A and B are shown apart, each in its own frame.
Chain A
């Protein structure tokens, strides 16, 4: 059974650009959530989607957005990138809301 797949794994952008990250959940999982991980702040919740609806949103500026498609795949977008957006972005899926979470390998974003 395939795990959570995130693409791209690594990317480098410059300030002011935008980026789109993709996440394919485990087959049958309808809930997808996103987290940002930095050395200083640790893991912080970005948002959660269930059946194409945003169920929960963390305390991040509006530059961070996401969506979920009918096949449960999810994307997150960060516009007008800042140096502080450099982080490992992790996607997780679960079979049901608040169930056991399974994480992908992450997308490491570097903003220069």
Chain B
């Protein structure tokens, strides 16, 4: 069964700290992996999309890496700010022969950045 796991479920850090969020997935035959942010009671905001052929993607203070062989992705947030407080979700699309399946989500990491 294909699964996405995010550990820890919650993380609290002081403002200004660099931090890493982890995502692991079963089965390396992925099509792509996407990181999202969700604020309380809101929808999801796409942060970064990594195709299976890529090793990393960067957007501003965010950097996401992908290691298919170990079934891991990390989201690095530099110089964290209170406004970064949210739940971060990792989601994977797997390949099924010549087609792609649907997006499978992890349960998320709830990040709190203290001023």
Contacts and interface: CB of A to CB of B under 8 A. Distances in A.
Interface of A: 4, 6, 33, 35, 42-43, 45, 48, 56, 58, 88, 90, 92, 97-98, 100-106, 108
A58 B44 contact: no
Contacts of B102: 33, 45, 48, 56, 58
Contacts of B60: none
A45 B45 contact: no
Contacts of A98: 31-32, 93, 100
B103 A101 contact: yes
Contacts, number: 48
Nearest to A90: B43
B45 A103 contact: yes
B38 to A, nearest CB: 9
Contact of B44 (A6, A56, A90, A97): A90
Interface of B: 31-32, 34, 36, 41-46, 49, 89, 91, 93, 100-108
Nearest to A42: B107
A5 to B, nearest CB: 11
Nearest to A97: B100
Contacts of B49: 100
A101 B46 contact: yes
Contacts of B103: 33, 45, 101
Nearest to A92: B44
